[in-house]
Chain A
Amino acid sequence: MKILQVDHLSKSYGTGEAKVMALDDVSFSVDKGEFVAIIGPSGSGKSTLLHILGGVDKPTSGNVYIDGVDIYSLNESKLAIFRRRQIGLIYQFYNLIPVLNVSENITLPLELDGQMTPKTRLNEIVKTLGLSDRLKHLPNELSGGQQQRVSIGRALINNPAIVLADEPTGNLDSTNSKEIMELLKASNKKYNQTLIVITHDENIALQADRIISIHDGKIQMNEVASCERLI
């Protein structure tokens, strides 16, 4: 069953000589519960694609359908509500709110939605993230890995249908990386979430159900992961 459908998506920056095509006519679809890895050299347009999928950036042309809804046809309020309920976005550089502590940052999407956070849900998440004894800390009191885990917690607290992660392990050591990937995969399995991860790490890419490789804003390869091809 298709949950995500991308049609002729393009995104350009600048005009004339300085024009850069960050995405150039990209089309693909993803099934519910699928784990997709996006790979490609730096500057190829991966982050741009992920942001557009997450509803935080606007495409120059083309459409993104999630559960059949053209998300860029929604007005701003509807899109915001859609984001907090359906999408968990993990940025490469965490983007936490500096004045809120760990537990407040994690529960932010629920609070914004006017929901009470079920204690059990929060406990379960912070326990898996290993943040149980850091709940009252402010972001500037945490290490990079811990901050990344908080941002993952924030993305998962709502059980979103789609989890988008932009190099979630890019700034972490290998042990930390492994833990975090396990966590995402576990959530993917447990809740039948769709997981899309940008990565440079071939080990991670190989764990995915499918690999999409991007070059100069175009999809170069879109197929089931296999060792030989990657090498």
Chain B
Amino acid sequence: MNVLSKLTKRHLKLNKKRTIVSIIGIALSTALIFAVSISVLSFRDLAMRAAIDSSGNFEAKFADVQLANTKYIEDNSNTKEVMYSKTLGISKLNVDAKASKQYIEVTAYDGKAFENYPCALKEGTLPKDSSEIVISENINPKTGLNYKVGDKLTLNIGTRDNAQDTTLSNVTKKIYTITGILKADYTERSYSDTFSAFTYLDKSGLNTTDTVTVGVTFKNLAAMKTSVNEMSTGANAKNIAYNNTLLTWSGYSSHDNANTFLYAIAAVVIALIIIGSVAVIYNAFAISVNERKKQFGILASVGATSKQIKKMVFQESAIMGAIGIPLGLVIGYLGMFVTFSLINGFYFFGESFNMQNANFNVIISPIILTITLVILIVTILISAYIPAKRAAKVTPLEAIRLTNDIKMSRKKLRTSRLTQKLFGIEGIIALKNLKRNRKRYRTTIFSLFISIVLFISFSTIILYAFDLSDQQLGTSDYDFAFSVGGNGLSEADQLDVINKAVKLEGAGEYWIYRSVDAEATTGLSNDYKAKFKKSASSTNTDISLNVSIVEMQDEAFANYAKEVGVDTNAFSKGGISGILVNKMINGNSFIKPVDLTANSDLNLEIISDKQTNNIKLQLAAVTDKAPVAYGYSREQVYVIVPKSSMKNLLAVDNKIDISGYMGYLKATDSATYAAKIEDLKKANTVGTLYYTDVKAMIKSMQAIKLFMSIFLYGFIVIITLIGVTNVFNTINTNIQLRRKEFAMLKSVGLTPKGFNKMLYYESIFYGLKALLYGLPVGIGLSYLMYYIFGGVGVFSFVLPWNSIIICIVAVFFIVYMTMLYAGSKIKKENIMDALVSDII
């Protein structure tokens, strides 16, 4: 080892604290950049797995390809894997005529197709030849049939030209052996009338003119477009489908790219981290070089070239990087590992991705590892380059004469008389020191600035993205909501199912509604007219109000009428009458949109397929009390009517469009009820029962919010820590450099109390400056977030006071603690030791 490297090492050891703090800064920056990259990749990986789970692991699919032509697809140089499938047709099952699913659809898969398409078994084995079949798990519970593995299944398979057709054509009889039961999550749609079943596709049994569907994965996705064109022309296959979700997440979608957004966020975040890191690392080297200026000068005077001196600085950076970067990679990896393990412990991510195995895996690719390394190394090199250049320029004379690298001028140091009056001599000295070292203090203030801005704007994200959506959910006055879907279900069928649902164990009070949409153009209040004019598009000049006519079942209606204070007899006279809920949201307040009183008529227009109907709706009462599940709206008002009125309304025009029934329920025992309703959903054969468990939704929302908060705040904390390392290095060095000055002040009678006072003022001046820049920018960004999250006009902008106060306290705390720490040694130091010391 040559003498220069020895000097560098000795210098690092001598300034152990700063070296360690700088290495921590480098390590944290590395960890953060690495962790952000890992998050992006892992999220993408999860999304891709979700896409494969739900739609299969293929990228493009050619339908109606003649078997003879498949070689053009299979033999393409860009083809990685091909999978064959063929839809054989459907067969009627022997089930009740009312059942929502009446048919079974048989598709044949070859081995590769079974591997790659969504087709998970609940029990049994996959078919190995064309006489074996696996059937949907839903068949038995929904039809009452009882098929078991090993049973023979006889099907008359044919096709229908139209989904409404009841007769099949080209029917052939086939007898299969059932070898397994299929998890049908992705193989059949709840709204379709067919169950799914899969047999084995034996290509040798097909004619060369028979058509099949060919799924493909590609070796090189970037060249997919060209390959697909070649295949399509060669095989004469015009019917092409892409696996868009998967392609989107792979980054090769032809249209709108979900990745762009994800990558943009990651880029901004990484940019912020880099800015923070450059500030820390640059600062560390700048300080280090400054301290050694004299040494560099002496070395130069004995013949060291500027190249050698530069090399010393770079060597220093290499040593710090060699320790800091690997340390950071380990911290980043472990950090993400722990975070993902925690997240994976919660089921809701699986729920929201609708996946069996929705676990985040920690994904590291050589690319991100390289990118992280390159970013860090470049950051360190840039940070070292400028100070190194400065160091190399030091001439021997300059260095030996040098007492202080800071140029001072009287003008720059001017302080006002007011400062003198307010803060005394301690304040003056503190302020002058701040002014003298402007450049160096800038990095400190900048570090604090970044943390302040991030903290305030991120807390706003959390506020607007979560708290507000939370508020909306949190105020729900019911626990469960349901509806029934399905082709050609009668109203009675729907009502039947809902009536079953509301009487399950654990159910409490319930409400069943359905509604008709109407429009009012007369009887509107001035408040509403003003609101309408403000929000309406310029083309629409006729002022109108959307009115939803809501039917309530008898018992519930009677209760509601009683609450509002009308006699139910008022509704038994025939005609159409109801209770107007005359309250609407306008900006941050409410207005009464209708200018009518009880016992007057509300004129409504209802447009049906047939005609426009003009209806007089008699208002039995006008209230501002909304029924359960009907919060106030921004777009419409509600008129609550009894069954009799709705019947009369529908009698006017039988083509009037009416919504399906919707049920709302308060549970007396949510857990029991949740289990029961799930059972009912599974066993239900009439249409499909849909339900929402509001409490569970709120719970998972809150859990997501908690995790996002941990993520975001964790990020802020680490960025702040990086900033703190910077603040620490700067302040500590500054105080060390002023050791001699402090000793002088003490020797002319500065007391320990006065000393603390001086540090205290210096921290205040620092903090004030950082806050002066940071708060306005942070609040500005907050407003931007508010704007982006669509808050304008919906709710008013609130200054994030909590975050502002936390910021102010934290800034002063961090700065003052650092000062106190750095000052504590000096305060205790013997005056003469400091005065004769070589530093300055």
Query: Could you list which residues of chain A lie within 8 angstroms of chain B, going by C-beta atoms?
Result: 51, 54, 56-58, 76-77, 80-85, 89, 91, 95-101, 104, 108-109, 111-114, 136-138, 140-141, 154
Contacts and interface: CB of A to CB of B under 8 A. Distances in A.
Q: Counting chain B CB atoms within 10 Å of each CB, which of A57, A89, A98, A101 scores highest?
A: A98
A98 B751 contact: no
A140 B412 CA distance: 14
A80 B750 contact: yes
Interface of B is mostly: helix
A153 to B, nearest CB: 12
A98 B748 contact: no
A51 B749 CA distance: 14
B432 interface: yes
Q: Counting chain B CB atoms within 10 Å of each CB, which of A97, A104, A108 scores highest?
A: A97
A97 B741 contact: yes
B831 interface: yes
B417 interface: no
Interface residues of B, number: 31
Contacts of B175: none
A77 B750 CA distance: 8
A97 B741 CA distance: 6
Contact of B749 (A81, A95, A97, A98): A81
A26 B831 CA distance: 22
A64 to B, nearest CB: 14
A150 to B, nearest CB: 12
Nearest to A141: B410
A138 to B, nearest CB: 6
Given A84-B749, A111-B424, A98 B832 contact: no
B319 interface: no
B736 interface: no
A99 B413 contact: yes
Given A56-B743, A77-B753, 16 more contacts: A56-B832, A57-B831, A80-B752, A83-B749, A84-B748, A95-B740, A95-B747, A97-B741, A99-B429, A99-B433, A99-B436, A101-B410, A108-B425, A109-B748, A111-B424, A140-B408
23 contacts: A51-B832, A56-B743, A56-B831, A57-B830, A58-B830, A80-B746, A80-B749, A80-B750, A80-B752, A82-B749, A84-B748, A95-B747, A97-B745, A98-B408, A98-B436, A99-B408, A100-B429, A108-B748, A109-B748, A111-B424, A112-B754, A114-B424, A140-B408
A82 to B, nearest CB: 8
A111 B832 contact: no
Contacts of B413: 99, 101, 138
A57 B832 contact: yes
A82 B746 CA distance: 11
Contacts of A77: 751-753
B432 A112 contact: no
B751 A80 contact: yes
Interface string B733-773: 00000001101111111111110000000000000000000
Nearest to A87: B749
Contact of A112 (B740, B743, B750, B830): B750
Interface in B417-440: 424-425, 428-429, 432-433, 435-436
A13 to B, nearest CB: 10
Interface string B573-592: 00000000000000000000
